Amino acid sequence: MLYSSAIYCKLFLRGFLPIFPNPAMPIIPYYKRRDKNMNSFDIIGPVMVGPSSSHTAGAVKIGIISRKLLGSPVRKAHVFFHGSFLATGKGHGTDKALVAGLLGFSVDDQRIPDSFRYADEAGMEYRLSGIDLGDVHPNSVKLLLYGDDDRHIEVVAASVGGGAIRITELDGLPANFSGDYPTLVVNNLDQPGHVTEISSMLGHKSINIATMQLYRSSKGGKAVIVLECDQEVPADAVRWLSRLEGILKVTYLGLSDGDNA
């Protein structure tokens, strides 16, 4: 078939036509590409407690990651459900799943349906309510968490499908990370030098930075640097960072189980 060059270009950009129709060199249209190469266990799996990968497994994961970000067992939690989480969360057990995650249960833990009872036993106070967070992902939730030693954290997270999640806000500043990588979150004053300090420290420890994001509330105000790394960041490095002048708070999310101080 012959296309005019403009149509050909459009079709090519949409991935429907290869630019060189050479059968020896298959060109993969964009819609077939994936960020991450899939494997068989993306199809058969995960093993999870039902009923929904986004509304149940994803909610557990938001709980787990938020607990790790807090860096201590959760003593008190106030959870605000938004959008589809609010409309269908009760039916999907999103509430139980989130509390289970805050207790550190994994997505296939059979105790998830009884998580309220386990929370009572563990002395974890929790309050669940609805909220309108505005123009955010429909499966979003906001969490206010309090832990040991006056630790507290405010998280907004979204369950984006298939059990995957994104942390979209941390302590009032935007963020965008999945919790699938070791992640370093540095709240600092918006002044020159902090990015260099952090990246040279990581370089020194042979830690490769996978992604890096910078956000600030206003020029010269509070800022946050989020770094997803390919290797775990050692505890002493996290401590060193938190003592630097102009650094307000350092939160580290490791991949290992348990709480990361």
Partner 1 sequence: MYQSFQEIIDKEKSTGSLFWEIVRDNDCTEMDLTKEEAFLRMQAMYEAMKSADASYDASLSSASGLVGGDGERIAVARRAGNLLCGSFLGLVMEKAVKMGESNACMKRIVAAPTAGSCGVVPAVFLSLEEEKGYSTEQMVKALYVSAGIGGIIAQRASISGAAGGCQAEIGAASAMAAGGAAFLLGCDGETIAHAAALAMKNLLGLACDPVAGLVEVPCVKRNVIGAVNALTSADLANAGVRSKIPPDQVFDAMRSIGKALPEEIKETGKGGLAATPTGLAFKESIKGF
* Residues in contact with partner 1 by the rule CB under 8 A: 28, 32, 34, 37-53, 56-57, 81, 84, 86-93, 95-96, 108, 110, 112-113, 128-130, 161-162
Closest Cα partner for 61 from 213, 255, 210?
255
Q: Between 106 and 187, name the residue whose CB sits nearer to partner 1.
A: 106
3-state secondary structure of 221: coil
Contact 178, 166 (CB under 8 A): yes
Give the shortest CB-175-to-partner 1 separation in angstroms.
24
Q: Between 129 and 211, name the residue whose CB sits nearer to partner 1.
A: 129
Q: Between 56 and 72, name the residue whose CB sits nearer to partner 1.
A: 56
Give the shortest CB-73-to-partner 1 separation in angstroms.
23
- Quote the DSSP letter at residue 55: I
Q: Between 96 and 151, name the residue whose CB sits nearer to partner 1.
A: 96
In angstroms, rounded to a whole number, what is the distance separating the alpha carbons of residues 259 and 65? 10
In angstroms, rounded to a whole number, what is the distance separating the alpha carbons of residues 193 and 191? 7
Q: Which residue carries 């938001």 as its tokens?
A: 62
Give the shortest CB-75-to-partner 1 separation in angstroms.
21
Secondary structure element (H or E) that encloses residue 164, with its range = strand 164-170
Q: Between 122 and 160, name the residue whose CB sits nearer to partner 1.
A: 160
Other C-beta atoms closer than 10 Å to the C-beta of 201 total 17
Give the shortest CB-7-to-partner 1 separation in angstroms.
18
Contact 185, 194 (CB under 8 A): no
Give the shortest CB-13-to-partner 1 separation in angstroms.
17
